[in-house]
């Protein structure tokens, strides 16, 4: 079984709803997730660059679709994981379109329990990896972190530049996650984590979600084998209990798939179990990495 720490399904819902499609979770995503033995995940709405529509309209479309899918989807808002549905946490990949603290409070009231303050951009709250290296959290961003701590929201540092990253860890009094980032020492993508960042996340009892994006794994040989090299690196640091997967599948967003050649969509995640067994990971280690670690931190934070 797998719990996916980063999925763009909410974004896909908005795309398809604007195209007048219906039953999106049931018809487009549920079959893949079931084949891949995915029991849930953090589903994000991404709203940077060119928004698909008005932000609050998009949120309405998402909630409308999830109401349609309530027979298959359970929205996790506290420590209430259940076994017979997809357990979904509503997340935001960037707060660029969020006006301020009251707007975030409204989103919280609608069920959102996760957020990245920034995508790669620089916004009023924080600075992403493509922003100024000298700029981190703003005063408004500090207020956002304090609100998220107080209200048991999951703070995600993926996409933050280093200054924002360390500012967040300084301000937050709770663990944080990096939902979809790999090891910079193995692949020098700007979105990957240095060993220093990895250690600092785990010092706060946080969680790192390794991602199946080819450019973050090995752009020349984007395979499961090279993906597991990142897992081996964390194993060598004795961090398997603070490691999970945040796949970031893109097959449903673009014909030019950005994922691994042998892990191109959610339906193939079962292949990871076989590959980890072949690398002498124990069944207990596989279960922890694939879902137990993620569920533990979700229960802790929510």
Domains of the chain: which residue ranges? Answer: 2-301
* pLDDT at residue 51, as a whole number: 85
**Looking at the predicted structure, is the pLDDT value of residue 110 above 90?**
yes
Count of CB atoms within 10 A of residue 144's CB?
A: 25
Beta strands, E only, the chain: 2-7, 38-46, 73-75, 86-93, 112-116, 154-156, 177-178, 207-210, 243-245
pLDDT band at residue 256 using 50, 70 and 90 as cut-offs: confident
Instruction: Give the mean pLDDT of 277-284.
Output: 98
**Looking at the predicted structure, is the pLDDT value of residue 78 above 90?**
no
Contact 191, 164 (CB under 8 A): no
Determine the Cα–Cα distance for residues 95 and 126; give it in Å rounded to an integer. Answer: 9
Instruction: Give the mean pLDDT of 43-57.
Output: 90
* pLDDT at residue 80, as a whole number: 83
CATH topology classification for 2-301:
TIM Barrel (3.20.20)
Helix (H, G, I), strand (E, B) or coil at 179: coil
**Looking at the predicted structure, is the pLDDT value of residue 240 above 90?**
yes
pLDDT band at residue 280 using 50, 70 and 90 as cut-offs: very high
Q: Cα torsion for 90, 95, 97, 98, to the nearest 10°?
A: 80
* pLDDT at residue 250, as a whole number: 96
Q: Cα torsion for 67, 68, 71, 76, to the nearest 10°?
A: -30
* pLDDT at residue 48, as a whole number: 75
Determine the Cα–Cα distance for residues 269 and 39; give it in Å rounded to an integer. Answer: 12
* pLDDT at residue 64, as a whole number: 98
Work out the mean pLDDT of the chain and round it to a whole number: 96
**Looking at the predicted structure, is the pLDDT value of residue 83 above 80?**
no
* pLDDT at residue 57, as a whole number: 97
């Amino acid at each position: 079984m797998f719990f996916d720490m980063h999925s763009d399904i909410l974004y896909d819902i908005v795309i398809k709803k604007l195209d007048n499609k219906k039953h999106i979770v049931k018809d487009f995503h549920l079959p893949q997730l079931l084949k891949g033995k995915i029991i849930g995940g953090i589903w994000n709405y991404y709203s940077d660059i060119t928004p698909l529509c008005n932000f609050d309209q998009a949120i309405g479309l998402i909630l409308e679709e999830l109401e349609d899918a309530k027979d298959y989807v359970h929205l996790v808002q506290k420590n209430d994981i259940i076994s017979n549905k997809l357990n979904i946490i509503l997340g935001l990949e960037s707060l660029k379109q969020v006006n301020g603290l009251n707007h975030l409070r409204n989103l919280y009231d609608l069920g959102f329990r996760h957020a990245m303050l920034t995508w790669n951009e620089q916004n009023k709250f924080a600075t992403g990896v493509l922003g100024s290296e000298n700029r981190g959290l703003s005063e408004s961003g500090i207020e956002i972190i304090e609100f998220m701590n107080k209200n048991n929201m999951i703070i995600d540092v993926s996409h933050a530049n280093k200054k924002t990253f360390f500012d967040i860890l300084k301000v937050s009094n709770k663990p944080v996650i990096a939902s979809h980032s790999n090891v910079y020492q193995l692949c020098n993508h700007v979105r990957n984590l240095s060993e220093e960042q990895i250690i600092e996340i785990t010092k706060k009892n946080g969680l790192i979600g390794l991602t199946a994006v080819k450019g973050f794994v090995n752009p020349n040989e984007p395979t499961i084998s090279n993906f597991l090299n990142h897992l081996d690196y964390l194993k060598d640091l004795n961090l398997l209990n603070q490691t999970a997967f945040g796949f970031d599948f893109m097959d449903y967003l673009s014909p030019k798939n950005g994922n691994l050649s042998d892990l191109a969509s959610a339906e193939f995640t079962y292949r990871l179990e076989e590959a980890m067994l072949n690398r002498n990971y124990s069944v207990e280690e596989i279960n922890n990495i694939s879902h137990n670690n993620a569920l533990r931190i979700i229960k802790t934070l929510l």
